[in-house]
Amino acid sequence: MKSITHKLSKILPLILVVGVVLFEVLSQSSTPRVASSNTINTSLSASYSKSIAKPTPSGGSTSNSNSSSSAATLHKSSTGPSEAAKARGSTSTSASTATSTAPASKYAPLKNPLRNAVTPKKTTSHTFNPITYEKIRKSYVAAGKVLFEATCASCHGVNAFGTSRAPNLVGLGAGTVDLWVSNGWMPLENLTLQPAVKPPKYTTKQAQEIADFVASLSRINGPGIPQVNLHNANIQNGLSLFALNCAACHTITGSGDALASGYFAPTLHLATKTQVAEAVRTGPGNMPRFSAKQLSNRQLADLVAYVTGYIQHPVNRGGLALGGVGPVAEGFIALLLGVGGLMLVAFWIGDHRR
């Protein structure tokens, strides 16, 4: 035992030093080098100057020669008997003289790129709307009423106006009701601060039937059930929107996290594209609600594409995802396997040298 302790006291400092050196080397090699702003500005200025620099053969500037010729042309055309014409002629002569005596510049000034620009023709194209909302399906209302009276009316009332146990549902819209029922949040099993995560009791069609029944009780409703078309959705833009608006609660990996006062942000790994769009437009629980003025339908489609695409089906370039927890799990595995493996190798070498 004393020999092992003695070996550990000699080997551990060496292992730590090697580990720190390897970490520094790997971190420097994996970090891309970015040119400084001064270097970028200098290179851009040089290339820009080369693109506009056109010295004239006689040492004068192109602008000055053009001005002289135009002034001379104006002087020749003003040979009428009127005094105004003579005045214009004298003015053009002085302008020509002043132009010819102006100091010559080395490079011609930058021309206005819009002077000869061609205005594109206006074409009528069909505007693509990636988010559309379903209207109330009358064929669903009767079946939804039966399901609502069986499991929802005991708390929300027969006409969904609410009771002392549950809030009013009239006017919320089919999207809100469909989100809560299709996720399994409703109906409640136990009265808790936030609905527990559990498998949904009803199928997708049954949830939509209940939603259409509740929406049929009011002429003015909130958002309906969205139909999301991810054609030409921009996943990169969706990442930016998710990192800015969603990652603070749901984490950047969409795994969910605990919030204040006993609330929690649920995981997004099992959410459908319809549920993601419904949550953004209706704002369940403590989640903020984003209207079309705050988040356009195109941006919402980009966000849905990122959540249902990259978050639910990540590309793990490093191999094992380790639960998607992040650098904590990765660092723990690296220390456990790396340092532990080095210690085992060191012990093996020490035992074979005896």
Span 81-115, pLDDT tens digits: 444 444 444 444 444 444 444 444 444 444 444 44
The per-residue pLDDT for 21 is 61
Q: Which tokens hold the place of 150?
A: 């069986």
Distance spanning both ends of the chain, measured CA to CA: 16
What is the domain class of 226-311 according to CATH? mainly alpha
Cβ 338 vs Cβ 21: under 8 Å: no
Instruction: Specify the CATH architecture of the domain 133-215.
Output: Orthogonal Bundle (1.10)
* 253-268 average pLDDT score: 90
pLDDT in tens, 16-71: 666 656 555 444 443 333 333 344 344 434 443 443 344 444 444 444 444 444 44
The per-residue pLDDT for 20 is 59
Cβ 280 vs Cβ 297: under 8 Å: no
Tell me which DSSP letter residue 262 carries. G
Dihedrals φ, ψ of 94, to 5°?
A: -65, -35
Per-domain boundaries in the chain: 54-113, 133-215, 226-311
Q: What is the rounded distance in angstroms from the CA atom of residue 170 to the CA atom of residue 164? A: 15
Closest alpha carbon to 295 in 303, 287, 286: 303
The per-residue pLDDT for 4 is 60
Closest alpha carbon to 179 in 241, 243, 223: 223
Tell me which DSSP letter residue 228 carries. E
Q: What is the rounded distance in angstroms from the CA atom of residue 234 to the CA atom of residue 224? A: 24
Q: Which tokens hold the place of 17?
A: 């030093």
* 311-330 average pLDDT score: 76
Cβ 90 vs Cβ 76: under 8 Å: no
The per-residue pLDDT for 183 is 94
| CA-to-CA dists, residue 186 to 54, 155, 199, 207, 262, angstroms | 74, 11, 10, 10, 19
Name the band, by pLDDT with cuts 50, 70 and 90, for residue 141.
very high
Peptide bond into 200 cis (omega under 30): no
